[in-house]
A and B are shown apart, each in its own frame.
Chain A
Amino acid sequence: MFIQQLVNGLTLGGVYALIAVGYTMVYGIIELINFAHGEIYMLGAFLAFTFVTMLNLPFPLAVLLSISCCALFGVILEFIAYRPLRKAPRLAALITAIGASLFLQNVALMIWGGRMKTYPKGTIPEIFKSALFYMGDVKVSLLQYDIISITIFLMFCLHILITQTKIGTAMRACAQDKTTASLMGINVNRVISFTFAVGSGLGAVAGIIVGVYYNAIFPMMGYTAGVKAFAAAVLGGIGNIPGAMFGGFVLGIAESYGAGYLSSGYRDGIAYAIMILVIIFRPSGILGRKTVVKV
């Protein structure tokens, strides 16, 4: 039971971590809580579903298409909704983000309807769903194993992207100070667009993974997942990428244990409670630096 929950929690945590990274990257650079990020995660799952069912594309191609669509979508969202408000007060941008989230969610409800959808049979070969490893009485399916390894692989890639490449350096520079970065010849707008693209792409991956894992997608899924991922980002220290990954895993495991040992009804409540407590007692997060407010 204990280790079984740990495995489930790791799977769940990987998904949260993938979404949380998107939040944290955007927050790190433009200091905006991108409320619509959860909706992009939902769109990722639904676009892949649409490509598979309507266009009869093979699953890997549908996944790639969905990820690129979502990346593009993130960029468009930033361009339409957030860029005009970059110099406006923070409250204005936050309200816009909520508006965008409300809009996307309800448009998705109009297009796909409120009922749960499942990926058609045969999209994922059955072998992935069958239990594969038995360790004592703990069973780990190939799917869970894949999800954990995919998330770890993607995070590794992201780490390389941010620390080793030129654009990654530019992102870190923008996160430090946009004005100085632009004086050094960095095209800040392009870096922000790129950040949105990467974050949204990772969100789409998370959406597809959840769709495959639970075999159920619905338009409201972005809302809770988005909040939990935000909680994960806060937990690790918002604006801090390793922190978001760490926070995602911690939250996933906490939720899994909470649902297993306490009460499954309060499953979502655990995430909210952790979030509130962390924000109250350590707003800079577990791995975060303390920010000093200058007068």
Chain B
Amino acid sequence: MYICILSMLYIVLALGLNIIPGFTGLLDLGFVGFYAIGAYTAGLLTLKCGAMGPPWDILSNYWVIIPLAALNGALWGILLGAPTLRLTGDYFAIVTFGFSELVVLVIVNEMWLTRGPMGLPGISSPGIDLTFLYPITRFFFENPIVYSFKGKVPFFYLILFMMIATIFIMNRLEDSRLGRAWFAIRDDEIAAECSGINIMRYKVIAFAISASFGAIGGSFFARWFGFISPVSFKFWESILILCMVVLGGMGSIPGVILGATVLVSLSELLRQVLEPWPDLVQARYALFGIILILMMRFLPAGLIPLSRVKRVMSTKDESILQTMNESFFSVSTDSKKLSKDR
């Protein structure tokens, strides 16, 4: 059950991240920053507003927190994305990385708000409180309906619902105008711009949506686990999620789902196998490193590659372009130069 919930949580996160490298073609190394923002939004709202009494304690309701966390994530996504998204790939990756590190540093250092490295314990489980519907429900039930999440089962259904909603949204996005614009940007930014796509606007939207999914995942994590601390939001978490996206196949929704499931199960399996040797727990991360290297080398498109567009990670198109040029114009263009210029 634990692994089920965890893998579904990571499917939500990986699908959220997938928008950036998979759909838009940029590398985001700071995804865990948004995850942390979501988790701390949920944790702080639950703890602080829950203690404040009537008009404010509505904010500690998880159903209110989800949109708030998503909004907060999107806000930070826009704040970070708006000035930086015009950067080229590598620089953008580094800026996002720096951002996630800064988020963790702020969490560690602002003791008055986040209790720093000690973390936030005792975040209560969400519940369903239908007291306000009592005038209607009293015809059916004697007492007001109040249901608090206990054990793993309700969380399982909650994240199952979230996952299905995420997959649905992603599927719709993929076929929408927005998704098409993202694919166009990914395949050829300059051509996309020439076709009248406002690149910056679409990139910022992509970043905001991706960030809000990260924040939703974080808010679930906070309420489910009941305890959050900066340790959970290290850089390697970003890499783990990126690993899932890459392993499954960037941009391919079934691929990302498969990648997340495989990696979470593999990682938990290894954790259990390696339990007797605490020194070897590191082997898990070393293995993720090898997976990343080997994937890029031998299977750059992932386990389930994107069927519609094969260009995300493949190098073959360069040679096809070259042969085309050669056959059409009987000149040999320098393929290396071409790739560099584009």
Contacts and interface: CB of A to CB of B under 8 A. Distances in A.
A142 interface: no
A103 B293 contact: yes
Given A91-B25, A95-B246, A263-B109, A234 B94 contact: yes
B126 interface: no
A102 B105 contact: no
Contacts of B318: 87
Nearest to B106: A269
Given A94-B27, A178-B336, A283-B91, A99 B292 contact: yes
Given A102-B285, A107-B286, A179 B293 contact: no
A84 B295 CA distance: 12
Given A87-B318, A96-B296, A279-B84, A102 B286 contact: yes
B315 A87 contact: yes
A208 interface: no
A106 B285 contact: yes
> Dominant SS at the A interface?
helix
A294 B313 contact: no
Contacts of B94: 33, 230, 234, 275, 279
> Dominant SS at the B interface?
helix
Interface string B300-333: 1000000000000101001000000000000000
Contacts of A105: 285
A295 B296 contact: no
Contacts of A95: 27, 242, 246, 292, 295-296
B24 to A, nearest CB: 11
Contacts of A227: 97-98, 101
B289 A103 contact: yes
B99 interface: yes
Contacts of A135: none
A55 interface: no
Given A91-B89, A265-B109, A102 B239 contact: yes
Contacts of A54: none
Contacts of B291: 99
Contacts of A113: 279
Interface string A49-91: 0000000000000000000000000000000010011011111
B153 interface: no
A231 B91 CA distance: 11
B337 interface: yes
A151 interface: no
A103 B290 contact: yes
B165 interface: no
Interface string B27-61: 10100000000000000000000000000000000
Contacts of A263: 109
A138 B9 CA distance: 55
Contacts of B255: none
Given A265-B105, A265-B109, A90 B90 contact: yes
Contacts of A31: 90
18 contacts: A84-B297, A85-B296, A89-B315, A91-B21, A91-B27, A91-B313, A96-B296, A98-B242, A101-B289, A102-B286, A106-B284, A110-B282, A179-B334, A179-B336, A269-B106, A269-B109, A279-B84, A280-B87
B286 A279 contact: no
Contact of B288 (A85, A102, A230, A275): A102
B1 to A, nearest CB: 29
A102 B109 CA distance: 26
Nearest to A272: B98
